[in-house]
Amino acid sequence: MSTQESGAELVENVSVVDREAFGEAVWPSGYSGPPRVVECRHCHTKNRVEVPKAVLFPEHHDCGSCGKKLFLDSDEPLKALSSKAYLHSLDRKSLMALDSIPGVPELTRYLLSRVGDRGTRLLLMSSAVKCGPDQFPELVRLMDRARMRLDVPYRPEVFLGESPNMNAVSIGFNDPIVMVHSALLDQLGDEEMIAVLGHELGHLHPSHHVYHALGNLLLMGGAAAAGVAGIVALPLRMALLQWQRASELTADRAALLACRDLRTCIRLMLKFAGGNRPGTRARTSIQLAPFIRQARELASQEASSWVDGALAAWLTLNRSHPFVAWRVMHLIQWVERGRYLDILAGHYPRRVVTGITSRPPAQQRVPSQGSRGAQSRP
Ligand SMILES: [Zn+2]
Ligand SMILES: [Zn+2]
């Protein structure tokens, strides 16, 4: 055996140990749920799999009948994946609540046509760095890997913006843009970056575009500029924020489908919560297990005490993003009980593919004239 082979085996063994330790952190008392039945996409045989093993080691699962891989490889595209496949139920319900507020679709059309995201786009063009073949192509390649895995046919323009805060922003209705804060590059590895970019791609579907645009216009004072401040009622703002929080849970699922590693996604959330700065790295090695315990503790605290539950709900009222610990729990619940494993096995709603598309499916939800605009944070 060559030294090189031994090295590769060592890396593989370390990865297996890491993943097993991570599994013990996610399911400290063992997984109590039933096994899942996963249909082989090649021969349609139904295979029974243990959820933790399938989530942690999808590549180790072959069909019991034809012997082919049960789950897609990490770089295999989820062909024609529809965003319906990973839409969070809270996202769908909050959207229905928004739609039911009289005048909201009309107001959205009006705001987008009057204001749109032209200001934000101008700001990016004038103060951030546009990436492409001759400017930070490495970042564009990471975006390409994320969209290849999610099978997003169009490539958003990628901008790099200087900022000490870890963040990414998606903007644009007809011409999507993703702006990456430079702090992300200091603190994240490539797979974590792919998760962030996958999250942003998860926002690039019609509903998110329209209502993120509306939310941001209201928050940025665009409504006042358009002369409609008086009709923007508090309930609308609250409904929008509630939906925005739910939409983040949808985008988190897209992040997981882009990186296909729960460990990477939770580590990413840990870094968003506590940072991954040199001062921290020089003093300690931040651990995933206590962070997951913290998230579980929060969930059980809220579930067992109505005071804590009400307080938590009140604390989030004015936030556009859910608490990180909640996002961790929602993601774990999705891999345990949701469609994650089915999607990885190739079973998911597909969008209608009509040919090569360079644009997002914008304006399908709320047709408008010259409308633009969407913004989100990971
Ligand atoms: Zn098979
Ligand atoms: Zn987001």
Confidence of residue 233 (pLDDT cuts 50, 70, 90): low
Per-residue pLDDT at 249: 93
- Residue 170, both tokens: 């998606």
Q: What b/e sequence results for 114-126 when a residue is b if at least 16 CB atoms lie within 10 Å of its CB, and e otherwise?
A: bbbbeebbeebee
User: Does residue 150 have a pLDDT over 80?
Assistant: yes
Long-range Cβ contacts of 323-327 (<8 Å, 24+ apart): 323/298, 324/269, 324/270, 324/272, 324/273, 325/273, 325/294, 325/295, 325/298, 325/299, 326/295, 326/298, 326/299, 327/248, 327/249, 327/252, 327/269
CA distances from 74 to 43, 59, 71 (A): 21, 9, 9
Q: 273 exposed, middle or buried (CB, 10 Å; 0-12, 13-18, 19+)? A: middle
Predicted pLDDT of residue 244: 81
**Half-sphere CA count of 4, side-chain side, radius 13 A:** 0
pLDDT score of 174: 65
Distance 22 CA to ligand 2 centre (A): 25
Statement: residue 307 has pLDDT above 80:
no
Interstrand relation of 168-171 and 36-39 (parallel, antiparallel or unpaired)? unpaired
Q: Which ligand has the shortest distance to the CA of 204? A: 2
* pLDDT over 70, % of the chain: 74
Q: How far is 283 from 102, CA to CA, in rounded Å?
A: 55
* Residues 6 or more apart whose Cβ sits within 8 Å of residue 21: 289
Task: Give yes or no for a contact between 353 and 80, defined as CB atoms under 8 angstroms apart.
Answer: yes
Quick one: which ligand is closest to 70's CA?
1
Which residues are in the CB-under-5-Å shell of ion ligand 2?
248, 251, 376, 378
Which of 170, 224, 175, 230 lies closest to 374, judged by CA? 170
C-beta separation of 324 from 255 below 8 A:
no
ipTM value > 0.85: yes
Mean pLDDT confidence for 92-101: 77
13: left (phi over 0), alpha (psi -120 to 50) or beta: alpha
Of all ligands present, the nearest one to the C-alpha of 69 is 1
Q: Give the per-residue pLDDT at 6.
A: 59
Is residue 143 within 8 Å of residue 178, measured between CB atoms?
A: yes
pLDDT exceeds 70 at position 309: no
Q: Is the per-residue pLDDT at 107 higher than 80?
A: no
Percent pLDDT > 90 in the chain is 49
- Please tell me the predicted confidence (pLDDT) of residue 28: 85
Of the pLDDT bands very low, low, confident and very high (cuts 50, 70, 90), residue 64 is very high
Compute the distance from residue 377 Cα to the ligand 2 centre, in Å: 4
Pick from 116-125, 140-149, 186-195: least confident: 116-125
Mean pLDDT over 227-243 rounds to 64
How many whole angstroms from 13 Cα to the centroid of ligand 2?
34
Find the ligand nearest to 65 CA: 1
The pLDDT of residue 314: 62
Helix (H, G, I), strand (E, B) or coil at 353: coil
pLDDT (average), residues 226-235: 53
- Neighbouring C-beta atoms of residue 24, cutoff 10 Å: 13
Q: Which residues surround ligand 1, an ion (CB under 5 A)?
A: 40, 42-43, 45, 63, 65-66
Distance of CA 85 to the CA centre of its chain: 13
Q: What residues contact residue 240 under an 8 Å CB cut-off, 6+ apart?
A: 98, 211, 214, 215, 218
Max mean pLDDT range (97-101, 205-209, 371-375) = 97-101
Ligand number with the minimum distance to the CA of 203: 2
DSSP state, 38?
E
